[in-house]
Structure 1
């Protein structure tokens, strides 16, 4: 376990201190902000509702439900584990590049950002793949960029992101699988 945590710490500092540049310093703090992604969420909501009517409404409900499950589960695990964030750890905080206005006071493991976005990515992948085909994998790119940004800005370790991603993928598999079995997006037949 100590070797794994040491590897995690080394990878954190490699991303947070060495893999940096002016462009990423500007872009990545924005990528982790919910308001930055609000237009995507709005577009998805309007597009789904317009094209799939009542099934679209249920898609939105499951999308929000997936978010709630991942967020609450991650919060529970954070309290249970009690791992300090890198920007809060008195042993290393002075060496951490914190690229956000404040360092959150909640625990570090698991990352709620990673859990939420990987959960939404998996749900969207499963429920929208029949409609958008090979482009559905972009949901995971979106989640991975947000997870990477969390390490880059100094608020999470890589293992926090991995744990959050696994938690989110499991929740997304459950909600997306249930949605696909019971509701599924299909164009309404008009006569």
Structure 2
């Protein structure tokens, strides 16, 4: 069963990574750049603190969100599972299109995907009743996850697991925030 899943993962990777062109390389490299999104992160922080007056609990919850999301993907799963990135996989590395460098040796689970889905879901949980279009963060996170496969640094399964980790991190952190906020009313 695991072998079949890995074959499907590699087949889907070949389709996504093989559909490259100059414009797509530019857009996907741009989408994967952590620093390009800093203005959005600042705006999200502004909204989170504007609409949730328990500043200390919000800051603590965001810290918990990042800790769970990033450390589960990078600190725990990557060294434990030790699945090679496509660009390091000797079986396929010769044909992988890598327009922006390969990255570290292991790719399961995707930290980009985990962190972006964690942030997107957490903001959606916190702000869905206050901001009508906050749901657009979910396709934004999906674009970033897709870009990681397109750029040849993750298999689709890596980004799917990253999204699941992000959702779980957001769920835990949001409920942590709600419990503390309700318990210690300002």
Query: Fold-level match, TM-score > 0.5?
Result: yes
Number of matched pairs: 181
The aligned residue for residue 66 of structure 1 is 65
Q: Is the 8 A contact 1:126 1:180 kept in 2?
A: no
Q: Is the 8 A contact 2:61 2:176 kept in 1?
A: no
The aligned residue for residue 130 of structure 1 is 129
Q: Alignment partner of 1:97: what SS?
A: coil
The aligned residue for residue 2 of structure 1 is 3
Q: Which runs of 5+ in 2 are unaligned?
A: none
The aligned residue for residue 21 of structure 2 is 21
| Distance in 2 of aligned mates of 1:106 and 1:89 | 9
What's the C-alpha RMSD, in Å, of the aligned pairs? 1.9
| Distance in 1 of aligned mates of 2:170 and 2:159 | 16
1:53-96 per-position Cα deviation (integer Å, ceiling 9, x unaligned):
85245434422321221111112111110000000112211100
TM-score for both structures, normalised by structure 1:
0.87
| Distance in 2 of aligned mates of 1:119 and 1:132 | 18
Deviation (angstroms), 1:183: 2.2
Q: Residue 156 of structure 2 is aligned with which of 155, 158, 171?
A: 158
Q: Alignment partner of 2:87: what SS?
A: coil
- Where do residues 8-87 of structure 1 align in structure 2 (5 Å cutoff)? 8-18=9-19, 20-49=20-49, 51-52=50-51, 54-56=53-55, 58-75=57-74, 76-87=76-87
The aligned residue for residue 110 of structure 2 is 111
Distance 1:158 1:53, change over 3 A: closer
Q: Is the 8 A contact 1:86 1:156 kept in 2?
A: yes
The aligned residue for residue 140 of structure 2 is 142
| Distance in 2 of aligned mates of 1:44 and 1:34 | 15
| Distance in 2 of aligned mates of 1:53 and 1:142 | 23
TM-score for both structures, normalised by structure 2:
0.89
Q: Alignment partner of 1:98: what SS?
A: coil
The aligned residue for residue 169 of structure 1 is 167
Q: Is the 8 A contact 2:97 2:151 kept in 1?
A: yes
| Distance in 1 of aligned mates of 2:52 and 2:15 | 47
Distance 1:61 1:99, change over 3 A: farther
